[in-house]
C-alpha cells in the first residue's frame, strides 16, 4: 500500500479538481521491469460554513441582563475556529477574547451583566468563519436587537400624590410610558385598600391612549372626608419574553387624600386681583361637599350688599354659585365675600372667601402729544410722541400701534418706535422718514388696556401737524381746540415763533368775528406769546378764534394761516325741572319716591356730585344727606331719584318699635312737611372749576283716614223665641276696625237708659275686600226670650288707624237697628238631609212643618236655590196629615256643583203666630262624573321598565269615587279592585304588572282604559272613562354613521350621527379625541323623540369653538350617567 498526505505536497481549496497519477514498476531479475501507470481524479467539496442565529432574534426587544448572543456555525468538513470573527456594536471579537467562546457548532458571546446599556440598539455581525478546507462563510450574518431593562415610567398622577381633594369620588388618572418596549396595558393591576384589586377588564379601570383612568363611581366607591388611601399600581412593559426573560415590572404607590370638614369653595371667575372689562361680569364660585350644600345657608356679599339664594341676582345649581348683576358695573374695585355655606349636616364653610377684583370699562387716554395738534414745525425729521395711560388694568403692549397719514403702520419693536410704558415715541429719522415743507402729517395712535376677562377697552387718538414753509409758526397754548372753559374771563394764548423774529404790526386775530390788532388794550405781545384778555365776562357757547396773520421781519407770512380753532364757554351750572312730588303737593304715600330732572346743556351733569338733602324722615334726628353711592339713590339721566323703600334704615341709625311701620326703608310720617334739596355740579371743565347749583322744594303727608267706620248690614233680621240672640253688623274701614260694642234695651230706645253693653268681635271668613269690612257679632248673647218682642240696639265702632303709633289717629262712629223676636210653627228637614249630595238634576225637597194648632200654608215663603216660592205655586204642596211640605221642581233645574240652599223664611200657624225658628240648610248637586289627571306613564311617553307601574289620579268634584265602580282594561285584560294587581288608594288607581304576571315588550304600544263612577247619597252615580297609551323604549346599540364622513359643505355626509343605548329616555355626553388622546370636542347629546331626531346627535368635525379639525382618525366615547356606554373610532375626510 502506497499512501501519502496530499496536504504535505499542495494546497487545495473547496471546488478544486485534483488529478493524481501513480507510476510503479516491478522488480524482475531478468529483462526490463513491468510498468504500471494509473491515473484518476477527485474534487474538493465546495461551499463554506453555514451560520444561523439562535438568540436573540432579529429585531426583538430583550429584558435579559446579561444577554448572551448565541449562533450555530456548521460545516461537514468542520470549522476552522481561528477564522471566526464576531463584531458587536462595532468592536471585533475572535476566540482570543474572553467574551467569545466556541463549542462546535455553537458560538457564544457573553459580555456579562451591564454590558449593554438600557434602551440601546445592539448590532451584531458574523464577518468570518472558514471551514477546514478554507471555504469562507457561506452566510455572513448582520442583525440587531434592542435592550430594555427598565419598567414603565408613571407621570401625571391626578389627583397628585398627597394633595387633598374635595371630591369624595374623584376621577383618578395617570400617564404610563415605556421606551422602547412599550407598556403592557393588560398588566395593569390597581390595588384599592378595602375594595380589592382592579384590572382593565373591570369597567372602572380603563385606558384611553397611554392614560389610565380609574372611576370610583363605576366601582361603587365613595370615600369620606378626611380619608387617606394608599393606592398601588402594578405595571409591566412589553419586551419579547418567549424564550427570553420576564417583562420589567414595578409597583407605583401614592396617597389619595380626601379633604375633611365642611364645604370647600373655589373661585372660578373672576380670580383675585384680576381685571374685567365685562359690563355684566358674573361672579362664579363652586361649593362642594359630599353631604350636599344647604342652599338656605349660602350668603354672598358683593360690595357689602348681602345676597342669598332666592335673590334674582344669585343662582345656585350645585356645585355652582353664580351672581349676575342686574345693571352695568361701574369702573373700580369690587369686594366679594362668601361668608357662609353649610353642608346638609350643618358643617360650616371650610374656607370662607374674601377677595377683590377690579372692573375696568374705561379705555386708555392720551395727553401731551408732540408736536401739538395743529402745530406747524420747521423740523423735517421731528420726534413724534404722546403719553398714554390706563388707570386700572394697565396697557397691553400687543395692541399699541401708530399710523402716519393712514398709510404707514408701526408697532412696538419697529424701527424708530420707543415705548417706556407711558411715553410712545417715534423717531422719524431712525425710521428713515423725512417730511418736506408744507406737509400735513396725520398721526393716529391706537391703545387698549389689558383686562383678564372680556375684550379690552380700545381707544384711538389722532392729531395732525404741518411742516413750516418758512414763515412764523403758531402754537395754540390755551384754550386748546375742542376744550371747554368755565373761566368767566378766559384768556386766549398763542405762541408765534420765528427764528428771524415776528413783526408785531402784522399780527391780526379774529375772535367770534371781531378782529383785533396791536396795540389793542385787550391784546398783549411778549414775543413769542400773544395773549388776549377779555374786558367783559364771556357768554356761554362756542367761541371761534382765527389767527389771520403774523409775518416775520423778513415778510414771510404765517405758516398755515389762517389758523382756526374753537373752544366752548360754560358758566352756567346744572338746572332742575319736573320735581316729584311737585312743590307744595300732598301725598298719602309714606315712602313716596322723590325725583327731579337735572340738566346741563354743555358739560353735562357730573353724576358723582349729585346729592339729596332730605328733612322730615321719620325718627331721624335731623336732615339726612344721600349721594349717588347710597342705596335707594339712582341716576338715569336726566332723572335723579330717591326711593325710601330701598334704603337700609339701620345704616342711618334708625330703628322702629314692633308694629310701628310695615317694612324696611325710611318713611315720611303723617302731618309732616318734607323738605328736599337737590344739588349737582357739571362735569369738570378743561379750565377753571366746575359750576355747581342746588334747588329746594317741599311736600306734605296728610292723615290718610279721618272718617270713622261704616256700619251696615245689621242682623239678624229677626230671631225666634227660646233662642240665644246674638246681634251682628258689618263694619268696614280703610284702616281696619279696632273694636266695637253693642248697647241694647227692649223699651224702644237706648239714649236715656239701656239694658246692657255687650262687646263684639269679628267673625272669621266674613272678610269683604271691597270695603275692608268684616261681620262683627256680640261675643255673648244679649238674651233668650220666651215671648216675642223687639230688641233696640246701637253699634259703636273705632277704626284701627294708628299710624306711627299716634293714639289720636283713631275715629269712632255708631248706628242703630232693631231685631224682632218671633214664635210659630216648627220646621225640620226630611230629604235631602243637610250636606247630602244628589246626582239628580230634579231632586225633590221635603220639609216636616208642624204646629199643634195646624199650619196655614197661605202665608208660607220658601226660598230654595235662590228662588222665592210662595203659596199656591204648583211645585209646592202641603200634606196636613203627614205634616210635610214638598217642593217638586218637575224638571232638571239644579246645576253641577250647585249648593242648593233651602230657606223656609215664613210659616204661620192657624192662629197667625209666626214660627219661632226659620229653617235653613243646604244640599249639593253633583252631575259631573269623575275626572282623571297625572296619568303615568304620561300619554305617549317612552318607558324603559318592562314592569312599570301604571297609575292615574281619579278625582270627583263632590261625591268622591265609589270603589265598586272602578276598573281598568290593559294589555287585553280587565281588572277591578278585587284583583291584587289593581289598587285604589288616596285617589290614585295603580296597576301592578308583576302581580298580574305581565311584562311589557320593548317597542310595544300599551294602552289603558279606566272606568269610574262617583258616590252620591241620592240617585245613580255619574260615570266616565279615560284612555291613554304609552310606548316601551326600543333597544338601541352603539352606532356611528356615516363612517367615514366628509364635512366639506357639499350637503353629502357633512356630519356624523351617534346612536347610543337608552337614547330615547336620557341625554349623554359625547367626547371626541384625536389620535394623541387630546379631547377636541365635547357636547351633551340626546335625548331624542324618534330615530329621525338627529340634530342633537350630530358632529360636524369641528372643535367646541367651531374650528374645523384636520382629516384623520378620531376616537370617541359616549358617557351616560357617568358611565362609558359606547366607544369607537370615526374617520373624518375633507
Write down the pLDDT at residue 214.
95
Closest CA to 1038 of 1070, 1074, 1082: 1070
Contact 716, 822 (CB under 8 A): no
What's the full length of the chain, in residues? 1134
Write out 857-910 in H/E/C secondary structure: EEEEEEEECCEEEECCCCCEEEECCCCEEEECCCCCCCCCCCEEEEEEEEEEEC
Check residue 34 and report its DSSP letter.
P
Mean pLDDT of the region 453-478: 90
Q: Would you state the torsion angle of the CA atoms of residues 901, 906, 910, 911, taken in this order, to the nearest 10 degrees?
A: 150
Same domain as 19, residue 4: yes
Contact 649, 632 (CB under 8 A): no
The domain boundary, picked from 326, 359, 392, lies at 359
Phi and psi of 397, rounded to 5°?
-60, -30
H helix or E strand, kind and range, residue 92: strand 91-93
Q: What whole-number distance in Å separates Cα of residue 828 and Cα of residue 850?
A: 9
Q: Please classify residue 267 by burial: count the beta carbons closer than 10 Å to its beta carbon, then call 0-12 exposed, 13-18 middle and 19+ buried.
A: middle
Write out 530-590 in H/E/C secondary structure: EEECCCCCCCCEEEEEEEEECCECCCCCCCCCCEEEEEEECCCCCEEEEEECCCCCECCCC
**Residue 1074 CB contacts under 8 Å (≥ 6 apart), including other chains:** 1080, 1109, 1110, 1112, 1114, 1115
Same domain as 692, residue 765: no
Q: What whole-number distance in Å separates Cα of residue 293 and Cα of residue 349?
A: 10
Lateral strand order in the sheet of 845-850 = 826-831, 845-850, 884-887, 876-879
Write down the pLDDT at residue 267.
93
CATH number at residue 947: 2.60.40.1220
Closest CA to 1003 of 970, 1032, 1029, 971: 1032
The domain boundary, picked from 907, 925, 943, lies at 925
DSSP code per residue over 76-130: TT-EEEEEEEEEETTEEE-TTSTTEEEETTEEEE---TTSSPTTPEEEEEEEEEE
Same domain as 1103, residue 1055: yes
Q: What whole-number distance in Å separates Cα of residue 727 and Cα of residue 158?
A: 82
Closest CA to 777 of 821, 701, 715: 715
Same domain as 817, residue 835: no
Phi and psi of 1004, rounded to 5°?
-75, 155
β-pair type (919-925, 837-838)? parallel
H helix or E strand, kind and range, residue 681: strand 672-681
Write down the pLDDT at residue 700.
94
Closest CA to 283 of 90, 93, 453, 69: 453
Q: What whole-number distance in Å separates Cα of residue 917 and Cα of residue 894?
A: 27
CATH number at residue 244: 2.60.40
Write down the pLDDT at residue 274.
95
pLDDT of 437 > 70? The answer is no
Mean pLDDT of the region 861-888: 92
Same domain as 768, residue 648: no
Same domain as 588, residue 551: no
Strand partners, 516: 509
The per-residue pLDDT for range 625-646, each reduced to its tens digit, is 999 999 999 999 999 999 999 9
pLDDT: which is higher, 1065 or 18: 1065
Contact 1080, 1103 (CB under 8 A): yes
Closest CA to 224 of 178, 169, 297, 161: 169
Task: Give residue 1101's pLDDT band: very low, low, confident or very high (50, 70, 90).
Answer: very high
Q: Please classify residue 621 by burial: count the beta carbons closer than 10 Å to its beta carbon, then call 0-12 exposed, 13-18 middle and 19+ buried.
A: exposed
**Residue 1109 CB contacts under 8 Å (≥ 6 apart), including other chains:** 1074, 1080, 1081, 1101, 1102, 1103, 1132
Task: Give residue 33's pLDDT band: very low, low, confident or very high (50, 70, 90).
Answer: confident
Same domain as 803, residue 845: no
Which region among 432-441, 959-968, 1118-1127 has the lowest average model confidence (pLDDT)? 432-441
β-pair type (867-870, 855-864)? antiparallel
Closest CA to 519 of 529, 510, 535, 507: 507
Structurally, how many domains does the chain consist of?
10
Q: What whole-number distance in Å separates Cα of residue 463 and Cα of residue 448?
A: 18
Closest CA to 932 of 905, 948, 951, 907: 951
Contact 689, 484 (CB under 8 A): no
CA dist list (Å): 240 to 116, 177, 210, 232, 247? 17, 17, 20, 26, 8
pLDDT of 964 > 60? The answer is yes
Give the domain extent around 533.
Answer: 477-571
The per-residue pLDDT for range 969-1015, each reduced to its tens digit, is 998 899 999 999 999 999 999 999 999 999 998 888 999 999 999 99
The per-residue pLDDT for range 652-691, each reduced to its tens digit, is 989 888 877 888 999 998 888 999 999 999 999 999 999 9
Phi and psi of 486, rounded to 5°?
-105, 15
Mean pLDDT of the region 224-246: 88
Write down the pLDDT at residue 260.
66
Q: What whole-number distance in Å separates Cα of residue 29 and Cα of residue 26?
A: 10
Q: What whole-number distance in Å separates Cα of residue 547 and Cα of residue 510?
A: 6
Give me Rg for the CA atoms of the chain.
Answer: 54
pLDDT of 529 > 90? The answer is yes
Write down the pLDDT at residue 16.
61
Task: Give residue 44's pLDDT band: very low, low, confident or very high (50, 70, 90).
Answer: low
Contact 1027, 1007 (CB under 8 A): yes
Contact 100, 107 (CB under 8 A): yes
Check residue 304 and report its DSSP letter.
T
Closest CA to 843 of 875, 808, 799: 875
Same domain as 397, residue 309: no
Sign of the alpha-carbon torsion through 855, 858, 859, 861: positive
Contact 60, 181 (CB under 8 A): no
Give Dmax (Cα) for the chain: 211
Q: How many C-beta atoms lie closer than 10 Å to residue 1114's C-beta?
A: 21
Strand partners, 204: none
Lateral strand order in the sheet of 249-257 = 196-198, 183-192, 228-237, 249-257
Phi and psi of 611, rounded to 5°?
-160, 150
Closest CA to 1130 of 1049, 1073, 1080: 1073
Contact 92, 121 (CB under 8 A): no
Same domain as 144, residue 158: no
Contact 375, 468 (CB under 8 A): no
Say how many Å lie between the first and final Cα of the chain, rounded. 91
Task: Give residue 42's pLDDT band: very low, low, confident or very high (50, 70, 90).
Answer: low
Q: HSE of 595 in the Cβ direction (CA atoms, 13 Å)?
A: 13
Sign of the alpha-carbon torsion through 533, 536, 538, 543: negative
The per-residue pLDDT for range 556-592, each reduced to its tens digit, is 788 888 999 999 999 999 999 999 999 999 998 999 9
Same domain as 465, residue 335: no
Write down the pLDDT at residue 588.
87
Closest CA to 1063 of 1089, 1081, 1032: 1089
Q: What whole-number distance in Å separates Cα of residue 754 and Cα of residue 311?
A: 60
Contact 934, 952 (CB under 8 A): yes
Same domain as 640, residue 514: no
What rounded mean pLDDT belongs to the chain? 91
Contact 974, 967 (CB under 8 A): yes
Q: What whole-number distance in Å separates Cα of residue 472 and Cα of residue 525?
A: 15
Same domain as 736, residue 813: yes
Phi and psi of 923, rounded to 5°?
-135, 175
Give all strands (DSSP E) within 468-550, no chain letters.
473-478, 484-485, 492-497, 508-511, 514-517, 523-526, 529-532, 541-549
Write down the pLDDT at residue 12.
56
Mean pLDDT of the region 933-955: 92
Mean pLDDT of the region 97-123: 93
The per-residue pLDDT for range 381-425, each reduced to its tens digit, is 899 999 999 989 999 999 999 999 989 999 999 999 999 999 999
pLDDT of 15 > 60? The answer is no
pLDDT of 90 > 90? The answer is yes
The domain boundary, picked from 903, 925, 947, lies at 925
Check residue 1094 and report its DSSP letter.
-
pTM for the model: 0.35
**Residue 30 CB contacts under 8 Å (≥ 6 apart), including other chains:** none
Amino acid at each position: 500500500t502506497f499512501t501519502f498526505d496530499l496536504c504535505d505536497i499542495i494546497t487545495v481549496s473547496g471546488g478544486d479538481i485534483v488529478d493524481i497519477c501513480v507510476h510503479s514498476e516491478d522488480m524482475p531479475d531478468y529483462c526490463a521491469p513491468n510498468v504500471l501507470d494509473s491515473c484518476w481524479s477527485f474534487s474538493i467539496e465546495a461551499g463554506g460554513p453555514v451560520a444561523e442565529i439562535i438568540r436573540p432574534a432579529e429585531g426583538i426587544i430583550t429584558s435579559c441582563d446579561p444577554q448572551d448572543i448565541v449562533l450555530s456555525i456548521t460545516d461537514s468538513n468542520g470549522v476552522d475556529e481561528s477564522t471566526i470573527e464576531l463584531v458587536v456594536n462595532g468592536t471585533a471579537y475572535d476566540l482570543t477574547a474572553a467574551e467569545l467562546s466556541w463549542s462546535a457548532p455553537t458560538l457564544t458571546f457573553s459580555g456579562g451583566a451591564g454590558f449593554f446599556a438600557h434602551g440601546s440598539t445592539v448590532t451584531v455581525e458574523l464577518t468570518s468563519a472558514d471551514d477546514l478546507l478554507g471555504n469562507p462563510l457561506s452566510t455572513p450574518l448582520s442583525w440587531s436587537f434592542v435592550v430594555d431593562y427598565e419598567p414603565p415610567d408613571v407621570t401625571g398622577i391626578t389627583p397628585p400624590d398627597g394633595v387633598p381633594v374635595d371630591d369624595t369620588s374623584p376621577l383618578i388618572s395617570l400617564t404610563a410610558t415605556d421606551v422602547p418596549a412599550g407598556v403592557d396595558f393588560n398588566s395593569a393591576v390597581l390595588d384599592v385598600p378595602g375594595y380589592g384589586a382592579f384590572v382593565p377588564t373591570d369597567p372602572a379601570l380603563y385606558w384611553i391612549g397611554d392614560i389610565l383612568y380609574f372611576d370610583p363611581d363605576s366601582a361603587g366607591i365613595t370615600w369620606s372626608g378626611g380619608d387617606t388611601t394608599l393606592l398601588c399600581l402594578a405595571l409591566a412593559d412589553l419586551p419579547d419574553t418567549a424564550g427570553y426573560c420576564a417583562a420589567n415590572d414595578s409597583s407605583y404607590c401614592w396617597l389619595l387624600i380626601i379633604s375633611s370638614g365642611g364645604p370647600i369653595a373655589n373661585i372660578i371667575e373672576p380670580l383675585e386681583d384680576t381685571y374685567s372689562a365685562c359690563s355684566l361680569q358674573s361672579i362664579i364660585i363652586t361649593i362642594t361637599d359630599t353631604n350636599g350644600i344647604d342652599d338656605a345657608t349660602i350668603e354672598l356679599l358683593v360690595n357689602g350688599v348681602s345676597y342669598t339664594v332666592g335673590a334674582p341676582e344669585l343662582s345656585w345649581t350645585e356645585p355652582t354659585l353664580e351672581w349676575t348683576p342686574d345693571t352695568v358695573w361701574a369702573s373700580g374695585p369690587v369686594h366679594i365675600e362668601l361668608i357662609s355655606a353649610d353642608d346638609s349636616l350643618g358643617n360650616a364653610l371650610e374656607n370662607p372667601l374674601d377677595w377683590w377684583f377690579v372692573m375696568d370699562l374705561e379705555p386708555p387716554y392720551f395727553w401731551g402729544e408732540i408736536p401739538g395738534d395743529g402745530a406747524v414745525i420747521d423740523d423735517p425729521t421731528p420726534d413724534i410722541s404722546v403719553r398714554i395711560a390706563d388707570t386700572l388694568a394697565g396697557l397691553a403692549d400687543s395692541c399699541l400701534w401708530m399710523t402716519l397719514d393712514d398709510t404707514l403702520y408701526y408697532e412696538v419693536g419697529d424701527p424708530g418706535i420707543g415705548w417706556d410704558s407711558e411715553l410712545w415715541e417715534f423717531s422719524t429719522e431712525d425710521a428713515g422718514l423725512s417730511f418736506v415743507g408744507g406737509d400735513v402729517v396725520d398721526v393716529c395712535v391706537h391703545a387698549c388696556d389689558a383686562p383678564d376677562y372680556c375684550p379690552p377697552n380700545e381707544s384711538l387718538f389722532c392729531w395732525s401737524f404741518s411742516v413750516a414753509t418758512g414763515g412764523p409758526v403758531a402754537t395754540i397754548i390755551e384754550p386748546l381746540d375742542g376744550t371747554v372753559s368755565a373761566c368767566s374771563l378766559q384768556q386766549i394764548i398763542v405762541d408765534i415763533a420765528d427764528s428771524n423774529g415776528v413783526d408785531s404790526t402784522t399780527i391780526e386775530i379774529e375772535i367770534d368775528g371781531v378782529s383785533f390788532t396791536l396795540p389793542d388794550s385787550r391784546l398783549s405781545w411778549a414775543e413769542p406769546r400773544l395773549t388776549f384778555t377779555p374786558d367783559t365776562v364771556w357768554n356761554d357757547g362756542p367761541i371761534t378764534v382765527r389767527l389771520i396773520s403774523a409775518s416775520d421781519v423778513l415778510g414771510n407770512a404765517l405758516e398755515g394761516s389762517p389758523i382756526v380753532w374753537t373752544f366752548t364757554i360754560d358758566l352756567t351750572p346744572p338746572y332742575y325741572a319736573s320735581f316729584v312730588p311737585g312743590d307744595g303737593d300732598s301725598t298719602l304715600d309714606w315712602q313716596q319716591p322723590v325725583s327731579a330732572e337735572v340738566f346741563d346743556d354743555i358739560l353735562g351733569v357730573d353724576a358723582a356730585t349729585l346729592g339729596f338733602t332730605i328733612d322730615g324722615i321719620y325718627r331721624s334726628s335731623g336732615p339726612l344727606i344721600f349721594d349717588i353711592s347710597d342705596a335707594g339713590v339712582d341716576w338715569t339721566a336726566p332723572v335723579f331719584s330717591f326711593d325710601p323703600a330701598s334704603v337700609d334704615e339701620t345704616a342711618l341709625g334708625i330703628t322702629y318699635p314692633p308694629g310701628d311701620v310695615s317694612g324696611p326703608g325710611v318713611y315720611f310720617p303723617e302731618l309732616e312737611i318734607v323738605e328736599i334739596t337737590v344739588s349737582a355740579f357739571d362735569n369738570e371743565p378743561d379750565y377753571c372749576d366746575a359750576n355747581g347749583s342746588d334747588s329746594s322744594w317741599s311736600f306734605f303727608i296728610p292723615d290718610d283716614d279721618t272718617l270713622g267706620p261704616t256700619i251696615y248690614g245689621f242682623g239678624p233680621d229677626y230671631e225666634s223665641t227660646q233662642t240665644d240672640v246674638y246681634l251682628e253688623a258689618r263694619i268696614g274701614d280703610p284702616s281696619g276696625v279696632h273694636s266695637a260694642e253693642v248697647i241694647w234695651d227692649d223699651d224702644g230706645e237706648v239714649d236715656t237708659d239701656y239694658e246692657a253693653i255687650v262687646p263684639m268681635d269679628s267673625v272669621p271668613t266674613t272678610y269683604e275686600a271691597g270695603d275692608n269690612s268684616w261681620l262683627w257679632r256680640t261675643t255673648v248673647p244679649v238674651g233668650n226670650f220666651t215671648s216675642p218682642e223687639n230688641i233696640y240696639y246701637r253699634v259703636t265702632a273705632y277704626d284701627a288707624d294708628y299710624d306711627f303709633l299716634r293714639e289720636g289717629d283713631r275715629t269712632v262712629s255708631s248706628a242703630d237697628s232693631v231685631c224682632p223676636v218671633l214664635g210659630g210653627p216648627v220646621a225640620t228637614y226630611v230629604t235631602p238631609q243637610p250636606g247630602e249630595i244628589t246626582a239628580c238634576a230634579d231632586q225633590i225637597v221635603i220639609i216636616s212643618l208642624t204646629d199643634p194648632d195646624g199650619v196655614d200654608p197661605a202665608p208660607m215663603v220658601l226660598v230654595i236655590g235662590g228662588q222665592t216660592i210662595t203659596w199656591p205655586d204648583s211645585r209646592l204642596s202641603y200634606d196636613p196629615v203627614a205634616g210635610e211640605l214638598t217642593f217638586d221642581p218637575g224638571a232638571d233645574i239644579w246645576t253641577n256643583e250647585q249648593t242648593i240652599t233651602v230657606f223656609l223664611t215664613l210659616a204661620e200657624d192657624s192662629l197667625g203666630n209666626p214660627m219661632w225658628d226659620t229653617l235653613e240648610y243646604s244640599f249639593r248637586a253633583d252631575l259631573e262624573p269623575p275626572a282623571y289627571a297625572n296619568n303615568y306613564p304620561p300619554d305617549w311617553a317612552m318607558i324603559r321598565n318592562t314592569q312599570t307601574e301604571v297609575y292615574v289620579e281619579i278625582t270627583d268634584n263632590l261625591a268622591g269615587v265609589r270603589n265598586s265602580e272602578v276598573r281598568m282594561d290593559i294589555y287585553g285584560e280587565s281588572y277591578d279592585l278585587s284583583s291584587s294587581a289593581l289598587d285604589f288608594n288616596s285617589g290614585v288607581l295603580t296597576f301592578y304588572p308583576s302581580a298580574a304576571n305581565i311584562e311589557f315588550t320593548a317597542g310595544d304600544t300599551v294602552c289603558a282604559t279606566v272606568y269610574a263612577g262617583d258616590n252620591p247619597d241620592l240617585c245613580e252615580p255619574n260615570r266616565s272613562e279615560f284612555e291613554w297609551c304609552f310606548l316601551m323604549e326600543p333597544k338601541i346599540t352603539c352606532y356611528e354613521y356615516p363612517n367615514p364622513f366628509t364635512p366639506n359643505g357639499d350637503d353629502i355626509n357633512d356630519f356624523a350621527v351617534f346612536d347610543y343605548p337608552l337614547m330615547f329616555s336620557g341625554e349623554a355626553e359625547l367626547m371626541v379625541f384625536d389620535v394623541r388622546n387630546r379631547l377636541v370636542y365635547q357636547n351633551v347629546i340626546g335625548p331624542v323623540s324618534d330615530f329621525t331626531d338627529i340634530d342633537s346627535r350630530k358632529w360636524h368635525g369641528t372643535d367646541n369653538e367651531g374650528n374645523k379639525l384636520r382629516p384623520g382618525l378620531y376616537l370617541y366615547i359616549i358617557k351616560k350617567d357617568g358611565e362609558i356606554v359606547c366607544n369607537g373610532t370615526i374617520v373624518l375626510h375633507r
